Amino acid sequence: MLGLGALGAAAGALTAPALARRYGPGPMMLAALALTPLTQLPLLLASPGLEWQITIGAALFLQLACAGAAGTTQRSIRQIVTAAGMQARMQAVSTWLTSGARPLSALLAGALGTWIGVLPALTVGTVLLIVPLVVLARSPIRALRKMPEPPPAALPSPPAARTPAASPPAHMDDARHDRVLGGDAS
């Protein structure tokens, strides 16, 4: 099942550019985020058996395809609209936020599962998957029909007036030379 999920993530990432061109990045990401909570339903309804394992594997494929497509597109948009000098900072903050949230989320999910039970905790998690959809639906990105244009490149600043570097006084050169040769600098 996990292998199917990984294939879904790869499929979503590979098809993201074509989907964004055809439907627009905003609508495509909205559709992906709308499908994601629905892909959790088989997990909530499952019972033992091969049929449910296959169903959950197919749902995981679709869920991670949606995540791959939406994630690839949103990262591309961020990179396009971020100035070149800020790219590393932008990516570092994004990685820190998403990677940093995972252990905390796992801890909270485990605590919630222990407190209210596994099925209710999975239901809460499924409902929480609606939050990114609502946030994106309320943002200007929802209307984005094509990838944004990169900001104009900053014009290079004129070269500074070049002044020759002042050379150190002669007695300093001699002292440095004496130290190198092991002599007394006084």
Per-residue model confidence as pLDDT tens digits over 77-86? 999 999 888 9
Using left for φ > 0, alpha for ψ between -120 and 50, and beta otherwise, residue 24 falls in: left
Model pLDDT for residues 37-49, shown as the tens digit of each residue: 999 999 999 999 9
Mean pLDDT of 51-71: 95
Q: What is the pLDDT of residues 80-120, one digit of tens each?
A: 999 888 999 999 999 999 889 999 999 999 999 999 999 99
Written in H, E and C, the secondary structure of 39-61 is: CCHHHHHCCCCHHHHHHHHHHHH
Please say whether the dihedral angle defined by the alpha carbons of residues 98, 102, 45 and 15, taken in this order, is positive or negative: positive
E strands, 18-162, in order: none
**Mean pLDDT across the chain:** 86
- pTM (2 d.p.): 0.75
Q: What is the pLDDT of residue 186?
A: 44
Higher pLDDT: 174 or 130? It is 130
Under a CB-based contact definition with an 8 Å cutoff, are residues 145 and 139 in contact?
no
Chain CA centroid to CA 96, Å: 9
Confidence of residue 171 (pLDDT cuts 50, 70, 90): low
| Domain chopping of the chain, boundaries | 2-143
